[in-house]
Chain A
Amino acid sequence: MSSDTMTPGNACLTFTATLSGSPYAGDLTASEPVPMMLLGEGDYLAAKRYETDGREPVYVSYLQHYALLDDLVDRVATALPEVTHVLIRFHTVYIRPLPARLLSGRVLLVDDPDAMAAVLARSGVTDILVINDRIRRDSTERGDNTVTVTLHSGTPDQARFEQYIRACAIHRSCVAA
């Protein structure tokens, strides 16, 4: 975990890690991926172009990914009650309904949460949690299984932030950067 300053008077506490296994070791998860609809030759050509050499394993399903995010948001309410905005990186594919908490008023799913945090900070918002992950949920997805959680705070408290992160499911199988 590290601390940094984004704007004068507003500090950042950051947790950066890489998922190195499933945070839900031993749990059963329903087989759920949706096969690609490849109808003709053009579809196969397109899918072929999409393939990459990425060797990062897939450790979580879509639902488990949602659960990880939900857990991070759920724990903010008690661990970091001053947070008014939670910004989460938007992943293109959602194959199941999101948990209600991820659609609540203070949560924003955005393409670039760090840029959005900067915009909010400039407009005077002081306490923002940014969850920026590149966790793979399917081998069609690019990603390196990294996750960065950043707390922008007017009154940063490193011990409290660390306690929050350690309590979250995502921390169970992460290797800190």
Chain B
Amino acid sequence: MSLVHPTATSARQDALHEDLLRQQFDTPCYVFDPETVGRNYRRLKDALGTRLIVSIKANPDLSLLVRCIHEFVDGIEFASVAELSLGMGRTTAPKYANNPSMDSRFLRGAIAAKATIIVDGLDHAAQILAAKGGRRLEPLVLRLNSASLLRGCGERQRHADHFGMDLQTAIDVGNMLVRADCQIAGVHVFAGSFSFGDKHLKLLEVLPEALKALQKGLNCPLSFVNLGGGFDADWESSGVDFEEYRRQVRAQLGDYLVAHESGRAIFKQAGWFITRVAAMKKIDGTSYAVCDGGMSQNFLLCQTERFAKKLQAPALLPKGEASRRQSEAPIFIVGSSCSSNDVIGALPAGAMTPQVGDLLCFDGCGAYNNTYTPARFLSADPARVFLRS
């Protein structure tokens, strides 16, 4: 386990911390900033030079969506019927329904919402047709398995996943759908979280041939390609040459309407998790700050799914003006559950020592943190959610 030392705070973070210190609010909580969401969306869309669909599963908070939905001009992807209901009545931008396991309620809702359904496989297509009845569907999109596509060009895939179809299955499924009076708009390819970069350039190399084969197999033209996303929140410093990438997209897929999609890059830096120090303690010289929130409200901070943990260092927002001494050793920040894995962060040696009542503010918690959390554990209260006006 190693520590991530806090980076210098930006003027934006300083302003947030000042806002937090001057107000009373319940903890543990998330604070989401709609303005940052809008800014992140516009920047990524500009960098890509294509349509940008928002994957709302990264942050399905309805208040936040209400404040941002006017920004999401290229559409929103919904992964469940509950998510779909959030977008209903709120935007005329395109809606996409994407989940390999769509029950009939989700399918019927998506059809009524005139959403574009992403077809994941043969049985999925059969379920779509069963839900369709005599209705006219929006043109469908076939999901291609990215590992399969890349394998076709000799690329060795270490992280193959179960999403989408190989090319021959996509042709078979597409033909089944065409025979049932459906239109096929195009394809959806997603290489996985944090995959943007080399993998997308390779996908761009293999997609034109795959699209040609698909159109031949379906005997119909395709017009739409969704290249997925996989952007990290710090995509701007990822080293990707976006000008070259845009050029490659135009060169390889110039005949198609191209989209990317993103959740993490849009929401992650627009959210903070705030917990209050409930007690300080020391065991054999190791210091702990016991907080009112932890893995039951922000599971991802515990990094239980990572082999090598790099604990995040939060900003310490002190209660009152009392002077603080510097800590001589790291202080581990632990949550309110009975799990020994409930370690959500650490303050490095040399940081101010927290006191009971202080706030700890973790940044980069706007995507998945609130929802990818076992909320029923210990029947703990979920985190409150606030928007920053």
Contact = CB atoms under 8 A, between A and B. Distances in A.
B51 interface: no
Which of under 10, 10 to 19, 20 to 34, or 35 or more describes the interface residues of B?
Answer: 35 or more
A70 interface: no
B62 A35 contact: yes
B68 to A, nearest CB: 8
A139 B69 contact: yes
A171 to B, nearest CB: 16
Given A28-B25, A48-B112, A33 B89 contact: no
B112 A44 contact: yes
A50 B19 contact: no
Interface in B103-120: 108-109, 111-114
A48 B88 contact: yes
B201 interface: no
B92 interface: yes
B85 interface: yes
A29 to B, nearest CB: 5
A36 B66 CA distance: 13
Given A28-B23, A28-B31, A138-B66, A50 B89 contact: yes
Contacts of A59: 67, 389
A58 B82 CA distance: 22
Contacts of B388: 26-28
Interface string A37-67: 0101110110110111111111111001000
A83 to B, nearest CB: 29
A64 B389 contact: yes
Interface string B210-254: 000000000000000000000000000000000000000000000
B387 A29 contact: yes
Contacts of A28: 19-20, 23, 25, 31, 386-389
Nearest to B385: A31
Contacts of B69: 139
A36 B62 CA distance: 11
A51 B112 contact: no
B45 to A, nearest CB: 15
Interface string B73-97: 0000000001011101111100000
Chain A residues touching B, majority SS: loop
Max chain A CB contacts within 10 Å: which of B88, B89, B384? Answer: B89
Contacts of B20: 28
A39 to B, nearest CB: 9
B63 interface: yes
B389 A36 contact: no
A118 B15 CA distance: 47
Nearest to A37: B85
A30 interface: yes
A137 B66 CA distance: 8
A174 B85 CA distance: 32
Nearest to B63: A31
Contacts of A3: none
A22 interface: yes
A53 B31 contact: no
Given A26-B389, A58-B67, A36 B88 contact: yes
Interface of B: 15, 18-20, 23, 25, 31-32, 61-67, 69-70, 82, 84-86, 88-92, 108-109, 111-114, 384-389
Given A30-B386, A139-B90, 15 more contacts: A26-B388, A27-B389, A28-B19, A28-B389, A29-B387, A30-B385, A31-B62, A31-B64, A38-B85, A41-B111, A41-B112, A47-B89, A57-B67, A59-B389, A61-B63
14 contacts: A22-B389, A25-B389, A28-B20, A28-B386, A28-B388, A31-B63, A33-B62, A42-B112, A47-B88, A51-B89, A60-B389, A138-B66, A139-B70, A139-B91
